[in-house]
Chains A and B, each alone.
Chain A
Amino acid sequence: MGATFSEKVLGAKAGKKVKAGEVVTVSPDYILSHDNTAAISQKFAQLGVDKVKCPDKIIIILDHVVPASTEKYAQNHKIIREFVEKQGISNFFDIHNGICHQVLSESGFALPGKLILGADSHTTSYGAFGAFSAGIGRSEVASVWATDKIWLRVPDTIKIELKGSFARGTFAKDAILKIIGEQGADRANYKALEFCGRAVKDLTLASRLVFANMAAEMGAKNGYFAPDSRALDFLKQHARTDFKPVFSDSDAEYEAVLKYDLSILEPQVACPHTVDNVKPITEVEGIKFHQGLIGTCTNGRFEDLKVAADILRDKKIHPAVRVLILPASRKEFLKALKKGIIEVLAEAGCVILNSGCGPCLGAHQGILAPGETALSTANRNFQGRMGSRDSKIFLASPATVAASALTGKITDPRKYL
């Protein structure tokens, strides 16, 4: 019997053959943390260790509340900068770089076969490049800083076979929402998702990031795409270090195989207050909302901003709504800026925010009032996430949010594309 990607990566790290279900102690390649580094560094201090064991494995990216919105957050950032200095951590990205998952990816740390752990649930994202990446907790990060070791349970794998190509007006976001809606938010708890099938080769890396990012919303430990020529071409330019792609064996054992045909997909919307409360757009069209959000680590890359601009070009957003643009990173923002996309969005009446997490988790820059509704391209719509607990969040693709921004109510983007 062959081995899955996850069994192989964790087996290589553990130095033995392992099967799903086993618990292994391993040493990760990179450990990510963000603004929560302030709290983690305090935990680290409690361990009674002076220096982190492997400073070069540590990646710190400030993104959650940037620039600092209150004195408390400013103080946290200051603690982090001092910690970085003291520990000699070179992979530090201050507030001007963007959202951790995009910055880590575009900076060439997200590499095939690497084991990347992060104190953020959407660390699953790097599976888009063939890495094994998973979210862990704060105490664990402090402990890994000190010991360079962590226990992990080798996950069972669910294979998701994608075929066909996207019909007009549908995108990666619609596909992953459809999958989560059908399978449920806990279908993949403690499990790995392997995205494969004939459709994958046509998926851009940005689109693969949408799938891998939202694997977390199905409860998955990690999401994975086998690195192909598209991924390897990108990595030729960007990879920080050597890497060795790891693939599942053809006779590997899967817990389940799920099949989806992208060509019959309609635009999808996740309704309040869970990500698996998904309906086709035809069932929710016409619902009014107050704030649109286009961006985040899920859908804030160039291709997302471009499709929004294509819909909003030479038009104005509806006077009853406000629309926030939140690019995934400064690099993606600059790409869009140079192509005139930011100008189109600003002309249409959108508010251009600096890259960061801000409104997605209700930290700042666009909090919802009681009774308000948001239509967002983010990955999570839990009750109260963007502000008041009496507010609602619908999740959709950038095209759907852009089309809806024109009418002030949830609108099928196929009418505008």
Chain B
Amino acid sequence: MGKKGRLIEDIDTDQIFHNAFLHITELRQMGQYALGNLEGWKDFPGKTGPGDIIIAGRNFGAGSSRQQAVDCFKSLQTGMIIAPSFGAIYFRNAVNSGFPVMKCSKLADLIAGGLLKSGDKIRVNIRTGEGQNQTRKEAFFIEPMNEVQYNLWEVGGLFSYAKKTKKD
């Protein structure tokens, strides 16, 4: 995300989901506050739809361990987030939620090269990392999910996984 093809870096968890709403525990109520504290993106929840893919700059989700910063996107049924890197705890939270966060170190090059633009229709294979830009008929690559991430994603997150292990 960003204007004129420049990705915003270091989007922190305070910008993604502000402290003022941390008391909210219901997933469906969280979406309306997603990116509410990020300059120029306050209207994001009204503009996004299910399956949308968010492209962001490095260190997305830096900072606090608050899980609402992941859950707010699940609430909006965001498809996945692709960034060159993520805040460490943010990445864990997303993996554990079964929400696809995907790394792509070459993201800035793809955008600078015009291979990826806001509004493009893209498909990504999370197992192989193969990406297709259907709008521009271009192929690209991201890092595929590792084994742990894929296993948790497949069952719908740590919770379903823990329930399953409990039964086994």
Contact = CB atoms under 8 A, between A and B. Distances in A.
Interface in A68-125: 70, 72-73, 76, 119-121
Contact of B23 (A72, A139, A383): A72
A190 B88 contact: yes
Nearest to A146: B162
B86 A189 contact: yes
A135 B89 contact: yes
A135 B87 CA distance: 12
A274 B165 CA distance: 41
A359 to B, nearest CB: 11
Contacts of A362: 19-20
Contacts of B161: 143
Lowest 9 A-B CB distances belong to which pairs?
A: A137-B93, A186-B59, A382-B14, A143-B162, A121-B65, A138-B67, A135-B65, A382-B12, A39-B25
Given A146-B166, A186-B85, 13 more contacts: A23-B147, A47-B163, A135-B89, A139-B97, A140-B92, A142-B159, A146-B162, A147-B166, A149-B165, A186-B62, A189-B86, A380-B14, A380-B64
A190 B65 contact: no
B153 interface: no
Contacts of B20: 362
Interface string B53-70: 000001100111101001
Nearest to A121: B65
Contacts of B87: 186, 189, 219
A139 to B, nearest CB: 5
B92 to A, nearest CB: 6
Interface string B83-127: 001111101110011000000000000000000000000000000
Contacts of B14: 380, 382-385
A48 B163 contact: yes
Q: Which of A70, A140, A361 has the most CB of B within 10 A?
A: A140
A19 interface: no
A279 B29 CA distance: 40
Nearest to A152: B92
A74 to B, nearest CB: 11
B89 A136 contact: yes
Q: Which of B64, B157, B161 has the most CB of A within 10 A?
A: B64
A361 B19 CA distance: 7
A42 interface: yes
Contacts of A135: 65, 89
A140 B158 contact: yes
A137 B92 contact: yes
B63 A382 contact: yes
Contacts of A339: none
B166 A219 contact: no
A203 B96 CA distance: 37
A351 interface: no
A190 B92 CA distance: 10
B10 A143 contact: no
Contact of A139 (B13, B67, B85): B67
Interface string B149-160: 000000001110
Q: Which of A76, A189, A221 has the most CB of B within 10 A?
A: A189
A167 interface: no
B78 interface: no
Contacts of A57: none
Contact of B37 (A76, A120, A139, A383): A383
Given A49-B166, A190-B88, A362-B19, A120 B10 contact: no
A76 to B, nearest CB: 7
Q: Which of B14, B15, B18 has the most CB of A within 10 A?
A: B14
A316 interface: no
Nearest to A119: B65
A137 B65 contact: yes
A46 B70 CA distance: 19
Given A147-B162, A189-B59, A42 B18 contact: no
Interface string A368-391: 000000000000101111000100
B88 A143 contact: no
Interface in A380-410: 380, 382-385, 389
